[in-house]
Amino acid sequence: MTRSFKIGIFDDEERFIASVKTLHEKGFLIYDVFTPYPVHEIFNMLKRKTRLPTAAYFLGLTGAAATLGFLVWACVISWPIVYGGKPFNSFPSFVVITVVITILFVALGSLAVFSSAAKILPGRENTIFDLRSTDDRFVIVVETVAPDGSDAENAGNLMMKNGASEVVVKKIEKVIS
């Protein structure tokens, strides 16, 4: 299905933020915004949230339990050997490896979560609406759905009024994101 977008391109961060704000308040369908660096005001405005820290927390718990469990199993149940007269279950010396492997679990696990949530994978080609958005432009992409094109026109006018340097229309067959 072909989807059509109205794209506003801004040179200036403040005008861009103001424009997102008015578009959002007027109820336009903001598909997403593209910026060269994170703009925190936008996250609040568009109610962007991430549950990555929660995922990391549970990954950490899993990692710690799994590592400690494995160490106890290997040293006490699977093949107990006395090293230097210490007990088989020598918890203090298991702590070191448990801490390190927990960190590894959290790090690799949250990378995987990030990769699937943010759609980041080697060779992936997500749709880029304007090439300059990774350089110095701030880009607002509004999805337009009205069959008569009235919302496209209104969004375009609004963005121009808010100081967009350019407003373009793009029709995209298949949006990857």
Partner 1 sequence: MYKRKLRGPLIEGDKTLGQITREVLNPMEVKPGKWWYIAMGLSLIATLFGVYAMYVTVTKGIGMWGVNNTVAWGWDIINFVWWIGIGHAGTAFSIFLLVLRQRWRTSINRSAEIMTVFAVLCAALFPTIHMGRVWNMFFLFPYPNTRGPLWVNFNSPLIWDFTAVSTYLLISASFWYLGTLPDLATVRDRTASKVKKAVYGFFSMGWTGSSRQWIRFESLAFVLGGITSVLVVSVHSIVSTDFAVGIEPGWHSTIFPPFFVVGAIFSGFAMVMTLMVIVRKIYRFTDYITDNHMDAIARILIFISLIMGTAYATEIFISWYSGSEYEIFTQFRNRITGDYYIQFWGMILCNAIIPQLFWFKKIRRNWIALLLISLCINLGMWFERYIIIVTSLSKDFLPSSWAPYTPTLIDVGVFMFTIGLFISGILLFLRYIPIMAVSELKGVLRIGDKKDD
- The residues of the shown chain that bind partner 1, judged by CB under 8 A, are 32-40, 42-43, 46, 48-50, 52-53, 56, 60, 71, 74-75, 78-79, 81, 83-84, 86, 90, 93-94, 96-97, 99-101, 103-104, 106-108, 110-111, 114, 117-129, 131-136, 176-177
Which sign does the torsion angle of CA 110, 112, 117, 121 carry? positive
Instruction: Give strand ranges (E) for the chain.
Output: 3-10, 30-34, 138-144, 166-172
Q: Is 73 exposed, middle or buried (0-12, 13-18, 19+ CB in 10 A)?
A: exposed
Q: Is the dihedral of CA 130, 135, 139, 143 positive or negative?
A: positive
DSSP bridge pairs for 170:
5
**Amino acid identity, position 68:** L
Minimum distance of partner 1 from residue 25's CB (angstroms): 17
Report yes or no: 138 and 146 within 8 Å, Cβ to Cβ: no
How far apart are the C-alpha atoms of 177 and 162, rounded to whole Å? 27
Question: Smallest distance, Å, CB 96 to partner 1?
Answer: 5
| First-to-final CA distance of the chain | 15
- Tell me whether residue 44 or residue 147 sits nearer to partner 1 (CB atom): 44
Q: Which of 73, 157 has the CB closer to partner 1?
A: 73
Q: How far is the CB of 133 from partner 1 (least distance, A)?
A: 5
Tell me whether residue 1 or residue 121 sits nearer to partner 1 (CB atom).
Answer: 121
- Nearest approach in angstroms of CB 115 to partner 1 is 8
Least distance from partner 1 to the Cβ atom of residue 148, Å: 28
Residue 90 CB, nearest distance to partner 1 (Å)? 6
Residue whose CB is less far from partner 1, 29 or 56: 56
52 or 146: CB nearest partner 1 = 52
